Amino acid sequence: MTVLVVNSGSSSIKYQLVDPVGGGAIASGVVERIGEETGSLTHTFGGRKVTRTDPIPDHAAGLRAVLALFDEVGPDLASSDVVAVGHRVVHGGSVFSTPVLVTDEVVDQIEAISPLAPLHNPANVTGIRVARELLPDVPHVVVFDTAFFHGLPEAASTYAIDRDVAREHGVRRYGFHGTSHHYVSRQVAQFLGRRVEDLNTIVLHLGNGASASAVRGGHAVETSMGMTPLEGLVMGTRSGDVDPAVLIHLQRNAGLSVDEVDDLLNRRSGLKGLAGENDFRALHDLISDGDEGAQLALDVYIHRLRKYIGAYTAVLGRVDVLVFTAGVGENDDVVRALATAGLEPLGLELDPNLNAGRKKAPTIVSRDVSRTTIVVYPTNEELAIARQAVEVAEAAGLTGEESDDSPAAAGHA
């Protein structure tokens, strides 16, 4: 069986046809620049990569073009035993604590949460609507980025502001990247031959967006992103934590509009704002050339990351595993080394030899004597979504598969 995983952005659709049991990506691709003069579509299958540059007026046209490429380049979806379409949805608000089967009511509820995620949820909804129209015979499942953090302790999810105002406007901490934090915290336990119930884990998901979580016995107890994905760590283009009064100051005294402040903090801040580059490879090159802005960007990034490691150590009391994942976490040994340097008193002892280089597979990078095992574990959000989609579809009796063959039964959940 296979699952088509779809991630719709405002001007893009990323997709992957996943084998949920074996874990492999059978085909994948991305539609970009939807609604612009020239769109582009890249589809990869069986070692063959096909790129098209045609205008793609809307998401429906984008997805139709994707399905046409499946027909033309392969694999043939009709004979691929597609048991579900799994959709990534960024914000599940206070409503959704688990993945759910898509119904008209679910789509309406996701749309109703849009004010909390105006950049993401409307695009996700468009993708779901279009995909349901074009693939009406397959169950569609939504997997929420917030779901893993739905059960955060109230002390962690509550902002210390007037409770009535907060309640009326949904102002609380929701957390994001949940699919990755959930997947990685479980998989790493399996990798170490431990029960997830017995482990206290800090997960550092360091991609272009970045977040940290503290996971006790498989349950998230703290995370760095808040009401939106803007809070917390320094990111590629997002500021992470700032004094909220900065926003007031910029609007009151610098004459910036709400949209300008939004743009500043989401797209012109973080590494990009400090160094002009948001990719760590470019940042390291600039630092080698003696660029002071780039050095400062790295210093600020690392300083914030270390503060979170310290804070989450205090939250958990005992940390059994520290995991690095996502683009930066998996590939950047300098970031991993700087983030943990000198933290032996906290029980973190990185092994410089084991840490060296990029990690394409799960790898222990701490010394044997380290109280906390430091692991690089590659995330795989598409696979996590695919497996959850199968579980939901199976539970609803919609896959036609024997439940004994389910990924859960095979120990992959």
Among 145, 222, 231, 332, which residue interacts with ligand ADP (rule: CB under 6 A)? 332
Q: What is the signed CA dihedral for 332, 329, 360, 18, rounded to 10 degrees?
A: -140
- Our finding on whether 358 is near ligand ADP (CB under 6 A) is yes
How far apart, in whole angstroms, are the C-alpha atoms of residue 258 and residue 48? 45
Nearer to ligand ADP, 19 or 279 (CB): 279
Per the annotation, does 46 bind a ligand? no
**Secondary element (H or E) of residue 190:** helix 178-191
**Choices 51-59, 101-109, 157-165, 322-330; region in contact with ligand ADP by CB under 6 A:** 322-330
- Our finding on whether 281 is near ligand ADP (CB under 6 A) is yes
Per the annotation, does 328 bind a ligand? yes
Q: What string of DSSP letters covers 269-338? A: -HHHHHHS--SHHHHHHHHHTT-HHHHHHHHHHHHHHHHHHHHHHHHHSS-SEEEEEHHHHHH-HHHHHH
Return the residue nearest ligand ADP (CB atom): 327
Size of the site for ligand ADP (CB under 6 A): 14
DSSP state of 254: S
How far apart, in whole angstroms, are the C-alpha atoms of residue 168 and residue 151? 20
Q: Is residue 85 classed as helix, strand or coil in its secondary structure?
A: strand
145 is catalytic: yes
**Secondary element (H or E) of residue 49:** strand 48-52
- Our finding on whether 266 is near ligand ADP (CB under 6 A) is no
Per the annotation, does 329 bind a ligand? yes
**Choices 86-94, 243-251, 278-286, 339-347; region in contact with ligand ADP by CB under 6 A:** 278-286
How far apart, in whole angstroms, are the C-alpha atoms of residue 43 and residue 29? 4
**Choices 36-44, 87-95, 279-287, 347-355; region in contact with ligand ADP by CB under 6 A:** 279-287
Nearer to ligand ADP, 262 or 279 (CB): 279
Catalytic residue among 54, 137, 145, 299: 145
Shortest gap between Cβ of 364 and ligand ADP (angstroms)?
A: 20
Active site residues: 145
From the annotation, which residues make up the binding site?
Answer: 7, 14, 88, 205-209, 279-281, 327-331, 381
Q: Which residues bind ligand ADP (CB under 6 A)?
A: 207-209, 236, 278-281, 326-328, 331-332, 358
From the annotation, which residues make up the binding site for Mg(2+)?
Answer: 7, 381
